């Protein structure tokens, strides 16, 4: 029997809460956090996204793109309360709930508490309850595994629902642009394009050894999901020990300015992931893998949660300590050493996001 997996993703969650609570903001481009002078945006409304504004973008860049952008001070305690309210709705249907962040989660409703046969009907009920209780909209993806449910939830945002039935899995994947694959970022997409991989069907040309050759350990994942296979279970009460980001380059980095530029890109990506995950820690680790596959790490730990302005400085310090006089094939940054209530502790990091 195939599983019935739902991925629920709140629509522009932080910004939508602000527009709900402050009616004068509705229909207008809103950025949560940041300021017109400095800082980094934590979230953007759909009206702002039309201008290319996104989370982790520098406020100065956002204002250039949208001069009428409205900056709204964050209220993370409110977002956390609303997130818990939404999560309680999930538990009415199943105990198999895997939160990914404050605004999204996987649900396994194969054997749901209400005995509803159709996962699509469960998703519709959940979406309606979320709206009735919070006046916020969510998008849902429904399919047979986590990869497909996650991809499906992005198909009809905002306030949409998309179903990928077992009979339509392979046809859907084969026509899916590679940029829409969960786990494919900008650099990986560029590498795939160089290999003439543009859609899911193009991945099917590569056997597993070739996938491993080009993409390392991620090759297993890409090989499987291109064939509609994802055996990962929905894990309730999943506890993340770290939040990180890394990039394997199609060409080894040799120039110091190139290296610094890539580290800057990693900083922004890590800030975005930390903001979305609701996590914060005291330790920052830089990972460097050289062209001969030798790998080193450098770490620094501070007494309090790492704020966004501290993260940037710590990353630069770690890079200065690392021997970067050889060609580099991979760089990564990770925040770890979370406290017990990481979601609450991470609020300080998020608050500093817009200082």
Q: What are the structural domains, with CATH classification, of the chain? A: 5-11+76-168 (3.30.70.270), 14-72 (3.40.1170.60), 170-225 (1.10.150.20), 242-353 (3.30.1490.100)
User: pLDDT tens across 120-158, in order?
Assistant: 999 999 999 999 999 999 999 999 999 999 999 999 999
- Has 104 been annotated as catalytic? yes
Neighbours of 82 (CB within 10 A): 24
Counted residue by residue, the chain has a size of 355
Query: 181: phi > 0 → left, psi -120 to 50 → alpha, else beta; which?
Result: beta
Mean predicted lDDT score pLDDT of the chain: 88
What's the confidence (pLDDT) of residue 49? 96
pTM greater than 0.75: no
User: pLDDT tens across 13-41, in order?
Assistant: 999 999 999 999 999 999 998 776 667 78
CB 148 within 8 A of CB 141: yes
Q: Give the pLDDT band (50/70/90) at residue 352.
A: very low
Neighbours of 107 (CB within 10 A): 28
Which residue out of 37, 104, 117, 246 is catalytically annotated? 104
Answer with the residue of higher pLDDT: 241 or 243: 243
> Which residues face 229 on adjacent strands?
none
User: pLDDT tens across 242-266, in order?
Assistant: 888 888 887 889 888 889 899 999 9
Whether 273 has a pLDDT exceeding 70, the answer reads yes
What's the confidence (pLDDT) of residue 238? 61
């Amino acid at each position: 029997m195939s599983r019935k997996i739902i991925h629920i993703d709140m629509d522009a969650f932080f910004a939508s809460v602000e527009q709900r609570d402050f009616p004068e903001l509705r229909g207008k481009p809103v950025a949560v956090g940041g300021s017109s002078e400095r800082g980094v945006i934590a979230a953007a409304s759909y009206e702002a996204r039309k201008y290319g504004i996104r989370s982790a973008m520098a406020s100065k860049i956002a204002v250039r793109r949208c001069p009428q952008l409205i900056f709204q001070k964050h209220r993370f305690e409110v977002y956390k309360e609303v997130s818990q309210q939404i999560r309680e709705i999930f538990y009415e249907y199943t105990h198999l709930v895997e939160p990914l962040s404050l605004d999204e989660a996987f649900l396994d409703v194969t054997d749901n508490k209400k005995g509803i046969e159709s996962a699509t009907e469960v998703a519709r009920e959940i979406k309606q309850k979320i709206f009735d209780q919070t006046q916020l909209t969510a998008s849902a993806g429904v399919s047979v595994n986590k990869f497909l449910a996650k991809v499906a939830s992005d198909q009809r945002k905002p306030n949409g629902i998309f179903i990928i039935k077992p009979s339509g899995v392979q046809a859907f994947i084969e026509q899916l642009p590679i940029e829409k694959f969960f786990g494919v970022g900008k650099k990986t997409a560029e590498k795939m394009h160089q290999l003439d991989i543009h859609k899911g069907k193009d991945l099917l040309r590569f056997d597993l050894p070739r996938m491993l050759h080009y993409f390392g350990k991620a090759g297993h994942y890409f090989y499987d999901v291109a064939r509609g296979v994802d055996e990962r279970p929905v894990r309730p009460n999943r506890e993340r020990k770290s939040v990180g980001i890394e990039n394997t380059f199609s060409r080894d980095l040799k120039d110091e300015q190139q290296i610094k530029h890539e580290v800057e890109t990693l900083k922004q990506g890590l800030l975005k992931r930390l903001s979305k995950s609701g996590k914060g820690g005291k330790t920052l680790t830089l990972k460097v893998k050289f062209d001969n596959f030798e790998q080193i790490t450098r770490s620094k730990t501070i007494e309090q949660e790492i704020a966004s302005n501290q993260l940037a400085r710590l990353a630069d310090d770690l890079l200065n300590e690392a021997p970067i006089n050889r060609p580099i094939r991979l760089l990564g940054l990770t925040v770890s050493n979370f406290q017990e209530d990481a979601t609450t502790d991470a609020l300080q990091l998020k608050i500093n996001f817009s200082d």
